[in-house]
C-alpha cells in the first residue's frame, strides 16, 4: 500500500530514469497460484486487473531495469542488449500513460488491454535477444570469472522477472482480450485448474521424438509410471501452467534423447527413457532417467551456466523457431520455470551410465507462490563487490613434489 499512497500523493511525471528510480523503491507483490485462480474464476473483473497491473507492472519492470544498468558497460553497449533495454523503456512508458486514467473510464480500460497485448508481443524475443547480446560481448571482450558470475546472477534474475511479467500480461490478455481458446475452455488464462501432468509429459515426449526421428532416424521409447499417493486411483492433476511444464519436459526429453542416441550409436540399440511421476501431499515429482552415458560431476553446474554451451552459435530469427536451439539456455530457463512457483529442477548423473533429471512442483496452489527478484542494497552489492580469493584450498594440477620439501 506504500506505493498506492505515494501515487495518490501525485509523484511528478519526470523522465523515464526518474520513474525507474521511483518505482524500483517498491518491492514486487508475489501472487500465489490460488490467487491467480480465484481472481480469474470468481472475480474476473477487468477494472480490478487494470488497477492492479498499472501499479504492479511498473514496479516489476523498474526493479529489473535497475539491475540491467549495473551490467558491464561493454555488455550494455552491444546492439542486442540496447534493443532489449529499448523494449523495456517503451513498455514502461506505455503503462505509465495509464497512471492517471480513471478506473471508471471503459475506453481507457479497453485501451489498456490492447496495450498489454502489444507489450506481450513486443517482448516475445527477449530471451534470445539478450542471449545474443551475451554472445556478442563474449566474442568481443572474452569473459573472466567475476564477470561470468555476475552475468549468471543477473540472467537468472532477469529471465525470472521476464517469466513473471509475461505471466501477468498473459493472464490479463487471455481473460479480457476477447479470445477464448476453444481447445482449453476450462483454463483460467494460462492456468489449468486440473492440469493432467501425464498428458503434458506425453505431449512433450511426442514433440521431442519427432525431432529425434528427423535427426537420428530413430528415437528411444518412453516407459512412464505414475503413483498418486495423495488420491490413489485418481488422475495425476495439479493446478499449474501447462506451457511451463511442457517447456521443462520437452527440454529434458530433447537432452535425454540426444544423449541416448549418441552414447549408444555403435550398438544401434537405444535404451528407453523411464519417467516416474509421483503426487504426494506436498510435492508433485517427475523423475526422468536416461542411459545416455551421463556427464562428469564437474560438468553438472556448467549445464546451468548461460556462458557455457557446447552447441554452435545459432542464428537469431524469430520466436517461431525451435525455442533456444543452440544457445544452451534450455536447462537454465527450464529450472527457472520450475522455481518460479517455488519448485525446482535438479540433475543427478552417473558418468558412464546415464542421468536422472528431477522436476519438483508444489502440489498445493496456496504454496505455489511467485519467486520474484527485488532490486535492493543486497542485489546492488552483488554487482559492485570485489570477489576476493577463495577461502578453500584450490587443488593444483601439478601436485607438489614431496621429495623437495623442506621443513621450516
Range 367-370 contact pairs with CB under 8 angstroms and sequence separation of 24 or more: 367/32, 367/282, 367/342, 368/32, 368/33, 368/34, 368/239, 368/240, 368/341, 368/342, 368/343, 369/30, 369/31, 369/32, 369/33, 369/341, 369/342, 370/30, 370/31, 370/32, 370/164, 370/167, 370/340, 370/341
Pairwise CA distance, residues 318 & 396, whole Å: 46
Q: Which of 63, 150, 170, 255 is catalytic?
A: 255
Strand 192-196 and strand 344-350: pairing?
unpaired
Q: Hey, what's the cell of 390?
A: 577463495
DSSP 3-state of 51: helix
Q: Which of 123, 254, 263, 274 is catalytic?
A: 254
Active site residue 226: no
Maximal C-alpha separation, the chain? 86
Active site residue 381: no
How many helices (H) and strands (E) the chain has is answered by 14, 7
Active site residue 305: no
Pairwise CA distance, residues 55 & 193, whole Å: 27
Q: Which of 56, 67, 251, 370 is catalytic?
A: 251
Q: Hey, what's the cell of 327?
A: 544457445
Active site residue 247: yes
Q: Which of 247, 263, 274, 362 is catalytic?
A: 247
Residues labelled catalytic: 247, 251, 254-255
Amino acid at each position: 500500500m506504500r506505493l498506492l499512497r505515494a501515487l495518490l500523493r501525485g509523484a511528478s511525471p519526470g523522465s523515464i530514469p526518474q520513474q525507474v528510480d521511483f518505482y524500483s523503491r517498491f518491492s514486487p507483490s508475489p501472487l500465489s497460484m490460488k490467487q491467480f485462480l480465484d481472481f480469474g474464476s470468481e472475480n474476473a473483473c477487468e477494472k480490478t486487473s487494470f488497477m492492479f497491473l498499472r501499479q504492479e507492472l511498473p514496479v516489476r519492470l523498474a526493479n529489473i531495469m535497475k539491475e540491467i544498468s549495473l551490467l558491464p558497460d561493454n555488455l550494455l553497449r552491444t546492439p542486442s542488449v540496447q534493443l532489449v533495454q529499448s523494449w523495456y523503456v517503451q513498455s514502461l512508458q506505455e503503462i505509465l500513460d495509464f497512471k492517471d486514467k480513471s478506473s471508471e473510464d471503459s475506453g481507457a480500460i479497453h485501451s489498456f488491454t490492447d496495450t498489454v497485448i502489444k507489450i506481450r508481443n513486443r517482448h516475445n524475443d527477449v530471451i534470445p535477444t539478450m542471449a545474443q547480446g551475451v554472445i556478442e560481448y563474449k566474442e568481443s571482450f572474452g569473459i573472466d570469472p567475476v564477470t561470468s558470475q555476475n552475468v549468471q546472477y543477473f540472467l537468472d534474475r532477469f529471465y525470472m522477472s521476464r517469466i513473471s511479467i509475461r505471466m501477468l500480461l498473459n493472464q490479463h490478455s487471455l481473460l479480457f482480450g476477447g479470445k477464448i481458446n476453444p481447445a482449453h475452455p476450462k483454463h483460467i488464462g494460462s492456468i489449468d485448474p486440473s492440469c493432467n501432468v501425464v498428458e503434458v509429459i506425453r505431449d512433450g515426449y511426442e514433440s521431442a521424438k519427432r525431432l529425434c526421428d528427423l535427426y537420428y532416424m530413430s528415437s528411444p521409447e518412453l516407459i512412464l509410471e505414475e503413483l498418486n499417493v495423495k488420491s490413489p486411483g485418481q488422475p495425476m492433476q495439479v493446478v499449474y501452467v501447462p506451457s511451463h511444464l511442457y517447456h521443462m519436459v520437452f527440454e529434458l526429453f530433447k537432452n535425454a534423447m540426444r544423449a541416448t542416441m549418441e552414447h549408444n550409436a555403435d550398438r544401434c540399440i537405444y535404451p528407453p527413457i523411464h519417467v516416474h511421476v509421483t503426487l504426494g501431499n506436498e510435492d508433485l515429482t517427475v523423475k526422468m532417467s536416461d542411459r545416455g552415458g551421463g556427464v562428469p560431476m564437474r560438468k553438472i553446474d556448467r549445464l546451468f551456466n548461460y556462458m557455457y554451451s557446447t552447441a554452435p552459435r545459432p542464428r537469431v530469427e524469430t520466436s517461431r523457431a525451435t525455442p533456444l536451439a543452440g544457445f544452451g539456455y534450455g536447462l537454465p530457463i527450464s529450472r527457472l520455470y520450475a522455481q518460479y512457483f517455488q519448485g525446482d529442477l535438479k540433475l543427478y548423473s552417473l558418468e558412464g551410465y546415464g542421468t536422472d533429471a528431477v522436476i519438483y512442483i508444489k502440489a498445493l496452489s496456496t504454496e505455489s507462490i511467485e519467486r520474484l527478484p527485488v532490486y535492493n542494497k543486497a542485489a546492488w552489492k552483488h554487482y559492485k563487490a570485489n570477489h576476493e580469493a577463495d577461502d578453500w584450498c584450490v587443488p593444483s594440477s601439478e601436485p607438489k613434489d614431496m621429495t623437495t620439501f623442506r621443513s621450516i
